[in-house]
């Protein structure tokens, strides 16, 4: 029996559907990526990775995940293209304006009593929310004494974030978000328009350091007063979520603030009960060491 | 055996989803996942109504929620909803698909990969083409598909787009969908 037919027969005998086979291929691919390049996607959400990988196959005219695996093993530029497709997260300025409103009323008053403020924006992607936070701090008169670490493991998005140039067509949404977030001026006070793009004022990022940091593999790198990590955990499985919360716990002093996305939670972390809930809707938490883990 | 139901709807979807969920009998004990295009508006009110008037426990999904029988999970506004092999839910803020987040295609595709032939997909009224690709993936994975009859739907564009892309197992007027779902599930 020719091998192709034999394979097909084996596959039928074992009841393996093409979806099941693709799951196996995916696991092998993630292992290959980790062993060959050191990037660890093995505890990312499988459904999320699968969607992006299937999309990547289509865009690169590849017929199977196995074919992609063979390609990226020997071709670094092919791997870089895959990395881009796996790691870029879409964001917008003042995404969930209610969160920024809550941050203004609940977190800012506390921060204003500190002489120095350190903020870690983890998984900052292309930086839209870093600029949002900087604007908010500026309007509260706190930007001068703040230090913001904006991190992502994708160097390309960090470069975009550093430049602070965004598409003009998005700006109308950002203006609306800014106003709903309780902005005190006009968003246009902070950018200039050129060639169909907007470029944000460099004074906003004077106190921002953009750093390469991988939540899946790297450790604590600074003690900070506030961690903002919104809509990043949703891309991880429970195990990796727990690891990252552990990292956050150890990066915060007592009374340190943790801000997650509105649909995210601490429930897979052993530290859940060591955080007091400041805002249950906007998912703002405060580390309270007096609460037992 | 059907182990899960996915429903997608856009313009006119609130009424259509209500009609279906109100008429599914208590014996329908599979999870139901729903994408309803509703812009950035909240769906709490609709979810409350359904909790009070249907046999299901209805919620808008949170990340990593466990999939339970007899529950209806709505994709929250501005998030895509996906299902994991281990019967948990994943949300994502990936780019809009068909100008939509949540997108019906994203939900249907991920459910098709997880449930294969044990999935029932229902595409209802709507005025865009979201869901057509998702219905083809459900078919490819061996699942069953029902499309609301475009002639009687509030907006026939979405059902029509699906019918042009794939051959659904059934094309039914809205009122006949829930009874047929019950009979497919043997309830």
pLDDT of residue A290: 85
- CA atoms of B46 and A267, how far apart (whole Å): 26
pLDDT band at A220 (very low <50, low <70, confident <90, very high): very high
pLDDT value at A167 more than 90: yes
List the structure tokens of B37. 């295009």
Q: How many CA atoms lie within 13 A of A119 on its CB side?
A: 30
On whether residue B109 sits in a domain, the answer given is no
pLDDT band at B20 (very low <50, low <70, confident <90, very high): very high
Q: Hey, what's the torsion of the CAs at B84, B98, A91, A173, to 10 degrees?
A: -150
Kindly list the distances between the CA atom of residue A137 and the CA atoms of A111, A119, A179, A285, in Å, as whole numbers in the listed order.
10, 11, 15, 19
Strands B89-92 and B80-83, bridge-based pairing: antiparallel
Identify whether the C-beta of residue B64 lies closer than 8 Å to the C-beta of residue A238.
yes
Interface test with B, best of A15, A24, A44, A51 (most B CBs within 10 A): A51
- State pLDDT tens for residues B130-170: 999 999 999 999 999 999 999 999 999 999 999 999 999 99
Kindly list the distances between the CA atom of residue A101 and the CA atoms of A114, A150, A278, B47, B162, in Å, as whole numbers in the listed order.
20, 21, 13, 25, 41
B118 catalytically annotated: no
- Give the number of other CB atoms < 10 A from CB of residue A274: 19
- CA atoms of B83 and B31, how far apart (whole Å): 11
CATH number, domain of B121, equals: 3.40.50.180
Question: Could you tell me what percent of chain A has a pLDDT over 90?
Answer: 85
Residues in A closer than 8 angstroms to B138, CB to CB, are: none
pLDDT band at A16 (very low <50, low <70, confident <90, very high): low
Identify whether the C-beta of residue B152 lies closer than 8 Å to the C-beta of residue B160.
no
pLDDT value at A3 more than 60: no
pLDDT value at A67 more than 50: yes
B59 catalytically annotated: no
On whether residue B68 sits in a domain, the answer given is yes
- State pLDDT tens for residues B69-118: 999 999 999 999 999 999 999 999 999 999 999 999 999 999 999 999 99
pLDDT of residue A2: 44
- CA atoms of A148 and A109, how far apart (whole Å): 18
pLDDT value at B61 more than 50: yes
With CB atoms and an 8 Å threshold, state whether B93 touches A90. yes
For chain A, what is the mean pLDDT? 92
Kindly list the distances between the CA atom of residue A178 and the CA atoms of A173, A181, A196, B38, B145, in Å, as whole numbers in the listed order.
9, 5, 20, 22, 43
On whether residue B185 sits in a domain, the answer given is no
Using only the alpha carbons of chain B, give its radius of gyration: 14
pLDDT of residue A276: 96
pLDDT of residue B39: 77
pLDDT value at A8 more than 50: no
Collapsed DSSP state (helix, strand, coil) of residue A148:
strand
pLDDT value at A293 more than 90: no
List the structure tokens of B111. 């459910």
pLDDT value at A5 more than 60: no
- Delimiting residues of CATH 3.40.50.150 domain(s) in chain A: 97-287
In this prediction, residues A218-246 reach a mean pLDDT of 96
The domain defined by A97-287 folds into Rossmann fold (3.40.50)
Q: How many CA atoms lie within 13 A of A285 on its CB side?
A: 29
pLDDT of residue A89: 78
Q: Following DSSP, what letter does each residue of B34-74 receive, concatenated?
A: EEE--TT---HHHHHHHHHHSSSEEEE--TTPBP-TTEEEE
For chain B, what is the mean pLDDT? 96
pLDDT of residue A4: 41
**Torsions phi, psi for A255 (to 5 deg):** 75, 5
Report which DSSP code applies to A236. B
Range name among A110-114, A191-195, A288-292, B118-122 with the lowest pLDDT average: A288-292
**Closest Cα partner for A134 from A116, A115, A121?**
A121
Whether residue B102 has a cis bond before it, omega within 30° of 0: yes
Helix, strand, coil content of chain B in percent (nearest 5): 35, 25, 40
**What are the DSSP E strand ranges found in chain A?**
117-122, 146-152, 165-167, 191-194, 197-200, 208-212, 226-229, 257-260, 275-279, 284-287
On whether residue B187 sits in a domain, the answer given is no
* Smallest CA–CA distance from B137 into chain A, residue: A19
Closest partner CB to A90 (pick from B61, B95, B110): B95
On whether residue B55 sits in a domain, the answer given is yes
B10 catalytically annotated: yes
With CB atoms and an 8 Å threshold, state whether B63 touches A233. yes
**Closest Cα partner for A47 from B58, B32, B5, B80?**
B80
pLDDT of residue A92: 93
Q: Hey, what's the torsion of the CAs at B146, B150, B154, B158, to 10 degrees?
A: 70
In this prediction, residues A162-176 reach a mean pLDDT of 94
* Smallest CA–CA distance from A90 into chain B, residue: B94
On whether residue B108 sits in a domain, the answer given is no
With CB atoms and an 8 Å threshold, state whether B63 touches A17. no
In this prediction, residues A44-63 reach a mean pLDDT of 95
**Closest Cα partner for A258 from A267, A269, A246, A249?**
A249
pLDDT value at A265 more than 60: yes
Region label for B45, one of left (φ > 0), alpha (ψ between -120 and 50) or beta (otherwise): alpha
Domain, as residue range, for B158: 4-102+116-125+133-180
Starting at the edge strand found earlier in the chain, the sheet holding B170-172 runs: B57-60, B71-74, B32-36, B4-9, B119-123, B144-148, B170-172
- State pLDDT tens for residues A100-129: 999 999 999 999 999 999 999 999 999 999
Q: How many CA atoms lie within 13 A of A46 on its CB side?
A: 23
pLDDT value at A288 more than 60: yes
Angle CA B18–B168–B95, to nearest 5: 70
With CB atoms and an 8 Å threshold, state whether B84 touches A47. yes
How many structural domains does chain B have? 1
pLDDT of residue A221: 83
Interface test with A, best of B6, B40, B64, B83 (most A CBs within 10 A): B64
């Amino acid at each position: 029996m020719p091998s192709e037919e034999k394979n097909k027969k084996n596959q039928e005998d074992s009841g393996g559907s093409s979806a099941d086979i693709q799951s196996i291929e995916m696991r092998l691919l993630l292992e290959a990526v980790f062993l060959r390049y050191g990037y660890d996607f093995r505890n990312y959400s499988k459904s999320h990775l699968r969607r992006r990988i299937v999309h990547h196959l289509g865009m690169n005219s590849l017929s199977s995940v196995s074919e992609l695996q063979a390609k990226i093993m020997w071709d670094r530029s092919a791997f870089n293209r895959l990395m881009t497709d796996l790691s870029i997260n879409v964001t917008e300025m003042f995404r969930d304006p209610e969160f920024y409103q809550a941050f203004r009323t609940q977190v800012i008053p506390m921060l204003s009593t500190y002489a120095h403020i350190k903020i870690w924006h983890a998984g900052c992607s292309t930086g839209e929310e870093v600029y949002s936070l900087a604007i908010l701090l500026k309007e509260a008169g706190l930007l001068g004494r703040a230090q913001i670490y904006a991190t992502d493991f994708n160097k390309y998005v960090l470069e975009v974030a550093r430049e602070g140039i965004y598409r003009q067509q998005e700006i109308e949404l950002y203006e609306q978000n800014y106003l709903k977030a309780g902005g005190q001026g006009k968003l246009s006070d902070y950018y200039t328009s050129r060639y169909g793009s907007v470029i944000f004022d460099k004074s906003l990022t004077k106190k921002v350091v953009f750093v390469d940091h991988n939540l899946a593999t790297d450790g604590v790198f600074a003690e900070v007063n506030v961690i903002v990590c919104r809509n990043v955990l949703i891309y991880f499985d429970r195990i990796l979520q727990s690891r990252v919360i552990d990292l956050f716990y150890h990066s915060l002093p007592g009374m340190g603030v943790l801000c997650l996305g509105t649909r995210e939670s601490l429930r897979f972390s052993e530290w859940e009960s060591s955080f007091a809930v400041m805002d249950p809707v906007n998912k703002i938490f405060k580390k309270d060491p007096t609460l037992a883990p | 055996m059907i182990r899960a139901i996915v429903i997608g709807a856009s313009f006119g979807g609130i009424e259509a989803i209500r009609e279906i969920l109100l008429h599914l009998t208590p014996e329908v004990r599979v999870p139901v996942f729903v994408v309803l295009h509703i812009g950035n508006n909240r769906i709490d009110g609709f979810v409350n109504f359904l909790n009070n008037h249907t046999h299901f426990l209805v919620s808008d999904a949170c990340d990593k929620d466990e999939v339970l029988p007899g529950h209806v999970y709505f994709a929250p506004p501005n998030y895509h909803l996906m299902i994991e092999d281990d019967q948990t839910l994943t949300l994502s803020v990936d780019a809009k698909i068909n100008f939509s987040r949540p997108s019906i295609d994203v939900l249907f595709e991920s459910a098709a990969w997880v449930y294969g032939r044990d999935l029932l997909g229902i595409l209802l009224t709507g005025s865009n083409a979201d869901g057509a690709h998702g219905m083809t993936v459900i078919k490819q994975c061996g699942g069953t598909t029902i499309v609301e009859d475009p002639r009687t739907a509030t907006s026939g564009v979405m059902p029509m787009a699906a019918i042009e892309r794939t051959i659904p197992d059934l094309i039914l007027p809205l009122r006949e969908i829930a009874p047929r779902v019950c009979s497919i599930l043997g309830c």
